[in-house]
Amino acid sequence: MRREAPKTVADYTPLFFPGFMLVIFFVVPFSTMIVVSFFKRDPAGFYTPDFVIDNYARFLSVFFGSVLGFSLVLAIIVALCCVAIAFPFTYLLTRCPRRVQTLWLVGLLSVLSLSEVIIGFAWSTLFSRTAGITNLFVALGLMEQPVALLPSFGAVLTGMVYQALPYTILVLYPALVRLDPTLLEAARTLGASPLLAFFNVVTPALRNTIVATLIMVFVFALGSYLLPQILGRPQHWTLSVLITDQAIYQSNMPFAAAMAVFLVLISLALVGMMLLVGRKENAL
């Protein structure tokens, strides 16, 4: 059995079901959303068919601008924090024995798969007055009284870094685990200390990986929709929260759709940039 081009209709049979499902339930819904973004809001139902660009025009408001700006800045900070923590961690992890690696990977996957609801709930508990970390500080004599650490920007940031960290580590893992160990050994024989070799050899060798990971984590963080609601104040709401809010609570599906389309465009532009970076890396 050679790998060959399909010749008869029968050869295409395996594609029928996946193709049907993906087109009907992904391409069509996605297109529906784009179409709806040009419709008019119907307070009684979902929307009225129309062709207006009001939904997009609303982006020009100060409010929207500040939400977008905040979302982008927050996602950038999350991405930077995650990569800064995860890169040395993942590097050290890949030098561990297999069994240790496997154990960590299982743990990381378990945390990664956790619902945003659960992460939000867990951190809101940890930051709460009654069950929070400040109780520990009081017990240690560092504080007079337990206090609530939320809602606050710090809480939102912590929650989002928590959510994105396992993702970052797992994105970095393949590149780091396949890094040629002799590269480092060569640096060591030339007199570099392990720490120096890490900064002088490993980091520059994986510069493009780091950039690509930053972008991926950035897009991932842009998608966070619950943590800013649970852990922050309304001024900490991001574009994703706003979309949920408009779609569900304000019943303004066209405006939500317009914002979603906008978010897709930003994400696509960034993924495109990432692919470009990846191509450059392969070309080297």
Partner 1 sequence: MTALRRFYFTLVALFLAAPLIVVAGVSINEKQELTFPPRGFSMSWYGQIFTDPEWRLALIHSVTLAVCSAAIAVAIALPLAWFLWRRIAPWANIFQVLGLAPFILPPVITALGFLTFWATVGLFGQFFTAIVSHAIFFVTLPLVTLSLGFASIDRSLVEAAATMGADDRTVLKTVVLPLILPYLVSGYAFAFVLSLNEYIVAYMTIGFTTETLPIKIFNALRYGYTPTMASVSVFFVAVAALVFGSIARFGDIRRLLGAMGSDGN
Residues 196-235 binding partner 1 (CB under 8 A) are: 219, 222-223, 225-226, 230
Task: Pick between residue 130 and residue 144 the one whose CB is nearest to partner 1.
Answer: 130
Angle between helices 98-112 and 153-177 (to 10 degrees): 140
Q: Minimal distance in Å, beta carbon 235 to partner 1?
A: 19
* Region 36-55 residues binding partner 1, contact defined as CB under 8 A: 36, 46
Task: Pick between residue 21 and residue 73 the one whose CB is nearest to partner 1.
Answer: 21
Mark 240-279 with x for binding to partner 1 (rule: CB under 8 A) and - for no binding.
x--xx--xx----x--xx--x--xx--x---x--------
Q: Minimal distance in Å, beta carbon 6 to partner 1?
A: 5
8 A C-beta contact, residue 34 and residue 47: no
Task: Pick between residue 106 and residue 190 the one whose CB is nearest to partner 1.
Answer: 106
Angle between helices 62-94 and 207-222 (to 10 degrees): 130
| H or E stretch covering 235 | none
| Among 167, 156, 161, 165, residue whose Cα is nearest residue 226 | 156
- Determine the Cα–Cα distance for residues 284 and 93; give it in Å rounded to an integer: 27
For residue 12, give the amino acid letter.
Y
Task: Pick between residue 53 and residue 136 the one whose CB is nearest to partner 1.
Answer: 136
* Region 147-166 residues binding partner 1, contact defined as CB under 8 A: 162, 165-166
Stretch that binds partner 1, among 57-65, 172-180, 183-191, 200-208 (CB under 8 A): 172-180
> Tokens for 104?
């960590």
Task: Pick between residue 5 and residue 284 the one whose CB is nearest to partner 1.
Answer: 5
Count of residues binding partner 1 (CB under 8 A)?
88
* Region 53-112 residues binding partner 1, contact defined as CB under 8 A: 85, 88-89, 92, 98, 101-102, 105-111
- Determine the Cα–Cα distance for residues 246 and 262; give it in Å rounded to an integer: 14
DSSP letter string, 84-142? HHHHHHHHHHHTS-HHHHHHHHHHHHHHHTS-HHHHHHHHHHHTSTTTSHHHHHHHTTS
Asked if 25 is part of the footprint of partner 1 (rule: CB under 8 A), the reply reads: yes
> Tokens for 42?
């119907």
